[in-house]
Amino acid sequence: MEPLLLAARGVKNSRALASYLNRGGYKALAKAMAMDPAEVIDEVKASGVRGRGGAGFPAGVKWSFVPKDLPKPKYMICNADESEPGTFKDRELILVDPHEVLEGIAIASYAIGAHTAYIYIRGEFVREAEILERAIAEARRKHFLGKDIVGSEYDLEIHVHRGAGAYICGEETALIESIEGKRGQPRLKPPFPAVVGLFGCPTVVNNVETLACVPHIIERGGAWFASIGTERSTGTKLFCVSGHVERPGVYEAPMGTTFREIIDGMCGGIRNGRKLKAFIPGGSSAPILPADRVDTPADFDSVAEAGSMLGSGGVIVMDDTVDMVWALENLLTFYAHESCGQCTPCREGSDWALDIVRRIRRGYGHAGDLETLHRIARFASQGMTICPLGDAFCGPISSFLEHFGGEFEAAIAAAEKPATTVLPILPVRSDHALFETEEAG
């Protein structure tokens, strides 16, 4: 099908307001503003659009949680932190069509009754932040933002807020803390941001891609959007394909397109004529899947059934040359670095797991290592931490061991060095008493 969100790709000066208006831009905003905010929310609910940042929560339902009669300001936040390894779609949307994102933010703000919106963009995206600033200034001059937008009595200001290098700030409550000028450490939920969010006020945080869907939903109707994709995963999705494919990049396809179609069809197959060994379907936090699951449809439910998650749509492809012990070590290096340090199971568990895997890869593995890894993966996930970063590093551990455990066993069996030798930067620790308790329970 024709691209929807990335329709402007290849269009000359696609970032300019004039180009966006030529393509029918900001008509959806005018249409939304002629509707009651509740009707806008209903339309987005009817579209079935689910959060594109990774969690897959229905956006319309999220908006409807904002209390209507609370005498407090409300805030809209566009999450452009895009830090999940393997994910680079939000950057593409900003580079290709920033006004599409702004229009989505404006409609969402109107629907929840916010007069201030923030775009939280990762610190590294300096040029992308400049593009958004310019687009906001342009839109203000033409009264699509600012005071009395599109001839109404509704005011909206959008501000760009730059992050400064912290993966965790993609988590919505850490993001809120970061805008408030604090360390980006997640908050306990409840209360949920829809009730107590930014500056203690009702707040909705939506991903860039989710918001980019909104103008299309309003313009062509929720039912139309819901007719694309599968029953429970509607619309198109941006798939970010990286790693060992011939043509990596961002591809837009209806939800439910199989990974085989994405990898072999759109991306031209595996590089250098090699064979697919494994792929991570939804950003590095999604459990890895072996090559034989490549026919899985890329929608929220099918990927979950296959044992992973659609997440952000970041597809990392690995060919048959990849050493899985090395790959897991690389991912754990990321999580050990990015754990915010607030919760013990995540802070200690990510470092500890990295120690073990690094040791195994360097030939210092020993018999109990895999069991310890399994225990860390059980202990730091599923509600044992404030935010899902615990699950994010445990999913890779469990899935690498499930599908490629043989490689870890072989590395341990081949270990020639004495198991007692301490090699890593962090000392090898003995099993922890807490794990024993968990085991007994």
Residues that bind other proteins (CB under 8 A): 73, 82-88, 90-91, 122-127, 157, 159, 161-167, 178-184, 199, 240-244, 248-250, 284, 314, 316, 318, 322, 327, 330-331, 333-334, 337-338, 340
Given the complex with other proteins, which of 243 and 349 has the nearer CB atom?
A: 243
Given the complex with other proteins, which of 230 and 339 has the nearer CB atom?
A: 339
Given the complex with other proteins, which of 164 and 423 has the nearer CB atom?
A: 164
Given the complex with other proteins, which of 157 and 409 has the nearer CB atom?
A: 157
Q: Report residue 87: phi and psi, to 5°.
A: -115, 125
Task: Establish how many alpha carbons lie within 13 A of residue 411's alpha carbon, considering only the half-sphere containing its beta carbon.
Answer: 22
Given the complex with other proteins, which of 243 and 345 has the nearer CB atom?
A: 243
Closest contact distance (angstroms) between CB of 212 and other proteins is 16
**How far, in Å, CA of 98 to CA of 131, rounded?**
7
Closest contact distance (angstroms) between CB of 124 and other proteins is 6
Closest contact distance (angstroms) between CB of 15 and other proteins is 11
Closest contact distance (angstroms) between CB of 62 and other proteins is 23
**How far, in Å, CA of 414 to CA of 80, rounded?**
45
Given the complex with other proteins, which of 220 and 271 has the nearer CB atom?
A: 271
Given the complex with other proteins, which of 68 and 182 has the nearer CB atom?
A: 182
Given the complex with other proteins, which of 42 and 157 has the nearer CB atom?
A: 157
**How far, in Å, CA of 59 to CA of 99, rounded?**
20
Closest contact distance (angstroms) between CB of 90 and other proteins is 8
Given the complex with other proteins, which of 37 and 85 has the nearer CB atom?
A: 85
Closest contact distance (angstroms) between CB of 406 and other proteins is 21
Closest contact distance (angstroms) between CB of 199 and other proteins is 6
Closest contact distance (angstroms) between CB of 221 and other proteins is 32
Q: In angstroms, what CA-CA distances link 353 with 155, 343, 405, 414?
A: 50, 15, 15, 20
Nearest C-alpha neighbor of 104 from the set 66, 148, 47, 164: 47
Closest contact distance (angstroms) between CB of 59 and other proteins is 22
Contacts for 336 with CB less than 8 Å, ≥ 6 apart: 350, 351, 353, 354, 393
- Cα of first residue to Cα of last residue in the chain, in angstroms, is 52
Given the complex with other proteins, which of 111 and 160 has the nearer CB atom?
A: 160
Which long-range contacts does 242-247 make (Cβ < 8 Å, 24+ apart)? 242/86, 242/88, 242/314, 242/315, 242/316, 242/317, 243/279, 243/316, 243/317, 243/318, 243/319, 244/270, 244/271, 244/274, 244/317, 244/318, 244/319, 244/322, 245/269, 245/270, 245/271, 245/317, 246/270, 246/271
Closest contact distance (angstroms) between CB of 376 and other proteins is 20
Nearest C-alpha neighbor of 286 from the set 115, 403, 117: 403
- Our measurement of the distance from residue 193's CA atom to the centroid of its chain's CA atoms, rounded to an integer in Å, reads 18
Closest contact distance (angstroms) between CB of 254 and other proteins is 20
Q: Are 71 and 201 in contact (CB under 8 A)?
A: no
Q: Are 314 and 288 in contact (CB under 8 A)?
A: no
Given the complex with other proteins, which of 109 and 372 has the nearer CB atom?
A: 109
